[in-house]
Structure 1
Amino acid sequence: MEWDAPFYVIVAALFVIVMCRANATYWLGRLIQSGARRTRIAHAMSSPGYARAEQQLNKWGPPIISLSFLTIGFQTLVNLAAGATRMPLRRYLPAVTVGSVIWALLYGTVGYVGVESFNLLWARNPTVAVVVAVIAAAALAAFIVWRVRESRRRRPDAAAS
């Protein structure tokens, strides 16, 4: 994998890609939310609890949106939730812009180095490369399972079930 463009062009291209993806996810959330207002879910979405949750996301959401770009997968959920709660664009756009810059710089540097390292390992010993990839995937899966179990164990309603 060789990038024959200057670094700033690569980062700019990555920025455009992630801005388009994140904003598309935001607007998808808004569409879903609009559609849900026409269903039985509308009663729950008009409840005081939902209104409080929406208010909190709008209050604390921008920093969460920006920092979510340091994660894999979570950023999509955050952008979808921001759209579903109709976070105002004056709060969303600066946060998603900062997050997109972070993401573009991260993938333009560390991401590139990681891919190059894996390619080098693959060229020298494909078996070891596959073992490393399987171990990394298993570790990620174990971490996710552990977090889900911890979350369920700590919920107050878990004792009632």
Structure 2
Amino acid sequence: MPSFLEGLPFGWLVLALFVVVFCRAQATYWAARGAAAGASRSRWGRWLDSAAVRRGSALLARWGLPVVTVSFLTVGLQTIVNAAAGVARVPWWRYTAAMVPGCVAWAVVSATIGIALFWAVVAALAGSPWAAVVIVALVLAGTASVWAVRRRRRRASGLR
């Protein structure tokens, strides 16, 4: 965490993190919305037709704007869903109304669990080389599990 945030009271920390995630989400939305407008004339056209953006758009089409709110509690899906909302040209006020509760949730989680988890990992790495081995093993096991599930799903759907 940046040093200027370390000494802040909890409320101010949550507010600072909220501002960060709010600005990042809005920037993603507007960049994707602008890219969609000129995609046919630029290199962004391929990215806008990528599997990740199609997944985000499919989630939005299936579940609606609550997906935007929930995406802030995930890792890796948040940016894709925000971009998909921009690509789909969701009206700004609707997108923002769905985004704000997600930003609040992200800020609170980051200010509590996220920071505590980060410092626990740092302490474990600094305190014991075996802790580092365990953490790396857990990350590798998690990555291998996600890869295996995705591969199994692709095979089941007939894709390679």
Please report the TM-score for the alignment, with normalisation by the length of structure 2: 0.79
- 2:17 aligns to what? 14
> Which of 68, 86, 97 is the equivalent residue of 2:100?
97
Q: Distance in 2 between matches of 1:101 and 1:9?
A: 13
**Contact map agreement 1:61 1:82 (CA 8 A) in 2:** no
Shift of 1:146: 2.1
Please point out which of 124, 141, 144 is paired with 2:143: 141
Q: Which runs of 5+ in 2 are unaligned?
A: none
Kindly tell me the number of residue pairs found equivalent between the two proteins: 147
Q: Choose 1 or 2 for highest CA Rg.
A: 1
Q: TM-score, normalised by structure 1?
A: 0.78
The answer to whether the Cα contact below 8 Å between 1:58 and 1:87 also exists between their aligned partners in 2 is no
Question: CA offset at residue 113 of structure 1?
Answer: 1.1
Contact kept, 8 Å, 1:122 with 1:129, in 2: the verdict is: yes
Stretch moving more, 3-12 or 141-150: 141-150
Counterpart residue number, 1:130: 132
Q: CA shift at 1:123, angstroms?
A: 3.1
Question: Higher mean Cα deviation, 93-102 or 113-122?
Answer: 113-122
Who is 2:69 aligned against? 66
* Aligned residue number for residue 81 of structure 2: 78
Instruction: Describe how 1:45-60 pairs up with structure 2 within 5 A.
Output: 57=60, 60=63
Confirm or deny: 8 A CA contact 2:72 2:106 kept in the other structure. Answer: yes
Q: Which consecutive residues of structure 1, in runs of 5 or more, have no partner in the other structure?
A: none
**Percent identity between the aligned chains?**
39
Q: Which residue of 1 aligns with 2:8?
A: 5
How many angstroms apart in 2 are the aligned matches of 1:89 and 1:29?
Answer: 12
